[in-house]
Amino acid sequence: MINYFSLFPKCVALTGFVAVTVMGAQTVSISNEVKKTPLMGMPEDNYGAAVAIDGDTAVIGAFGVDNGGSMFEGLAYVLERNGGTWRQVAILSASDAAADDWFGFKVAIQGSTIVIGAPQAGPGDEGQVYIFERPNGGWTDMTETARLRASDGALDDTFGWSVAIDGDSVAVGSRQAGPNARGAAYVFVQPNGGWTNMFETAKLTASDAADEDRMGFSVAIDGNTVVSGAPNVGNSGGMAQDGTGQIYVFERAPAGWANSFETARLTASDAASTDYLGYSVAIDGNVIVSGAMNKGNTGPSVTDGIGAAYLFVQPDAGWANADENAKLVYSDPENTGYFGWSVDIHGETVLVGGANRYNSGGGSTDGEGAGYLYFMPEGGWSGNRLEDEELVASDALSDRLLGYSVNLTDDWLVIGAPQAGPGDLEPGSAYFFAFDNDDDGVGNFNDNCPDDGNKLDPGPCGCGVEEVDSDGDGVFDCNDACPDDATNDSDGDGVCDSADVCDGGDDALDADSDGTPDACDDTPMPSGGGTPGPLPTTEECCGGGMPAMMPFMLLGWRRSRMKRRRHYLVT
């Protein structure tokens, strides 16, 4: 059985960290590391047990805060970015806060909406989820906009053990929902008038649910797809509930979530007892990633707790029961590293937390923790893959649990360490790292050309295009129709002067196809009669100066000119 609380023996910091890795031919740096601890933090606050980031706003959960003397009441902190600095701007709390609510155990954010799970809150300790909407004047210390509850909630369901948001929908995991802790996921759709206290729009359950499966231990949502992990499922051929783990995929039915059923069950090809696949899940587009934090090795001496993460790519025909497309592992696995404790995916980048990872050379299970980055290869996700970069603390100490929570965007990643802090205070910390895709020393967040090491701003040629003036005419090649000809196109016919046959007319008009443009051809009619091509305009005639004429007048002029020429030749 999973020991859900073993990583909280008590409740630091990464400074000056810079890591560089290579993604294909592109250099990617992680820099501008910023460490944040709560203002007025106290030991065992567990600040960083949950982290989420969207744009320039982040939310950090601290479910262990003793607010007003109530132990483990919990708080959440809102941070906003100004340049490369993250600053705490608000503290969020529950209007009905009570001891042991664990408010802030899980958090999620999208735009101006923050979702916070409190898995032991509520009138019957069944768990609640709180919605916070950003006020017009900006984030400030406040209580919730709305509370979400399960209509069938019961004592110790732990509703809010996991939360996720996308668009107008929120997914909530309730890992001990009945009967007998089979677990469930709940979906809430924002009403037209905005979020309000409400029960679920739909309850999602597994088609093969069994006692103690604990589906809802993790949830993720993207568009019309909800993913939920059930780490205690037994499907390895051994006894039931052996902790092999399984992932469930649900897709929204045309008539809405209330009519939705499970679409697929995802498993690991090398599934074994107590792997706990589904301990963490994330989804972006057609890719799902899940952590199996207790995965052991397969050598002669089996060692549990090394961990692994699995990637599943949606087939062209849609989600179906399947094994993984790729397995993520790390280069120096160790016992109880718990790699896969947390996961996130954004685009072609995956971040995996190894919360109990040992790094400093002391003991094998000292809990410093680490984060691991993986970039999708050119051929797509497949096979076993080692990390592209390991993120560790420059001031690593035991029992900090870096990687307990992770989240990333295009510009930043954040990693929680709920037992870190300044000195021995240990309220917990969150570490922000800026991506620097082009390795120019400027983070993506402050670089208008993040993939072009030669530019910070697009300029007249845009990002990725060199600003060169080959012919020295004062016009960059990117905007120069004749980049190798300083005289350019004086007659405006689209042909550079250096290659212009008739520099006073349109070279493209050649009715008789003799290679001489009509405007410079004494006999522009097609040989053997027939219909001539488009007639030259006044401006297209070499030297110009001829009055404009109707087409039939110009044709008559051509014929009379041809007769005079024939008479001259006979004479």
42-58 per-position pLDDT tens digit = 889 999 999 999 999 99
Residue 298: how many other CB atoms lie within 10 Å? 9
What mean pLDDT comes out for the span 231-256?
82
pLDDT number for residue 2: 43
Query: How many Å apart are CA 106 and CA 102, to the nearest integer?
Result: 9
521-547 pLDDT, tens digit each: 777 777 555 555 555 454 444 444 343
Enter the tokens of residue 31: 């820099």
CB 54 within 8 A of CB 408: no
Closest by Cα among 272, 408, 278 to 341: 278
Give the Cα-Cα-Cα angle 201, 166, 155 (nearest 5 degrees): 45
Query: How many Å apart are CA 122 and CA 115, to the nearest integer?
Result: 16
pLDDT above 90 covers a percentage of the chain that reads 57
> 119 forms bridges with which residues in the sheet?
none
Closest by Cα among 161, 154, 201, 199 to 177: 154
What mean pLDDT comes out for the span 67-91?
91
Enter the tokens of residue 335: 């016992």
Pairing of strands 339-346, 405-408: unpaired
Query: How many Å apart are CA 48 and CA 37, to the nearest integer?
Result: 9
What mean pLDDT comes out for the span 400-414?
94
Q: What is the mean pLDDT of the chain?
A: 83
CB 26 within 8 A of CB 451: yes
Query: How many Å apart are CA 231 and CA 176, to the nearest integer?
Result: 12
What mean pLDDT comes out for the span 299-322?
85
pLDDT number for residue 180: 93
Enter the tokens of residue 364: 């094998």
pLDDT number for residue 43: 87
Q: Which residue type occupies 563?
A: K
322-355 pLDDT, tens digit each: 999 999 999 878 777 899 999 999 999 999 999 8
What mean pLDDT comes out for the span 220-241?
82
Q: Is the pLDDT of residue 25 over 50?
A: no
pLDDT number for residue 392: 78
> 391 forms bridges with which residues in the sheet?
371
Give the Cα-Cα-Cα angle 276, 282, 288 (nearest 5 degrees): 85
Query: How many Å apart are CA 282 and CA 15, to the nearest integer?
Result: 28
> 174 forms bridges with which residues in the sheet?
159, 184
Q: Which residue type occupies 540?
A: E
Q: Which of 11-15, 372-376, 480-484, 525-529 has the highest mean pLDDT?
A: 372-376
pLDDT number for residue 546: 40
> Burial of 361 by CB count in 10 Å (0-12 exposed, 13-18 middle, 19+ buried)?
exposed
Q: Which of 156-165, 323-332, 420-429 bottoms out in mean pLDDT, i.e. has the lowest?
A: 420-429
- Supply the pTM of this predicted model: 0.81
DSSP string over 168-184: TEEEEEETTIIIII-BE
Residue 555's SS3 state is helix
Sheet holding 57-62, edge to edge: 47-54, 57-62, 75-82, 85-92
pLDDT top residue among 441 and 88: 88
What mean pLDDT comes out for the span 190-216?
96
Q: Which of 16-20, 267-271, 516-520, 530-534 bottoms out in mean pLDDT, i.e. has the lowest?
A: 16-20
Residue 103's SS3 state is coil
Query: How many Å apart are CA 568 and CA 333, to the nearest integer?
Result: 98
Contacts of 554 (CB under 8 A, 6+ apart): 535
Residue with tokens 């001990």: 176
Beta strands in 71-206 (DSSP E): 75-82, 85-92, 106-110, 113-118, 128-133, 146-149, 159-166, 169-174, 184-189, 198-199, 202-204
pLDDT number for residue 527: 54
What mean pLDDT comes out for the span 226-254?
84
Domain ranges of the chain: 45-402
Query: How many Å apart are CA 347 and CA 359, to the nearest integer?
Result: 29
Query: How many Å apart are CA 516 and CA 503, to the nearest integer?
Result: 12
Q: Which of 198-207, 300-309, 397-406, 557-566 has the highest mean pLDDT?
A: 198-207
Residue 288: how many other CB atoms lie within 10 Å? 28
What mean pLDDT comes out for the span 25-34?
61
Question: What phi and psi, each to the nearest 5 degrees, are found at residue 518?
Answer: -55, -40
> What's the half-sphere exposure (Cβ side, CA atoms, 13 Å) at 272?
15
Residue 258's SS3 state is helix
> Burial of 296 by CB count in 10 Å (0-12 exposed, 13-18 middle, 19+ buried)?
buried
Query: How many Å apart are CA 397 and CA 368, to the nearest integer?
Result: 6
Q: Is the pLDDT of residue 19 over 50?
A: no
| CATH class of segment(s) 45-402 | mainly beta
Q: Which of 6-10, 259-263, 406-410 bottoms out in mean pLDDT, i.e. has the lowest?
A: 6-10
Q: How confident is the model at residue 396 (pLDDT cuts 50, 70, 90)?
A: low
Element (H, E) at 390: strand 389-391
Q: Is the pLDDT of residue 10 over 60?
A: no
pLDDT above 70 covers a percentage of the chain that reads 82
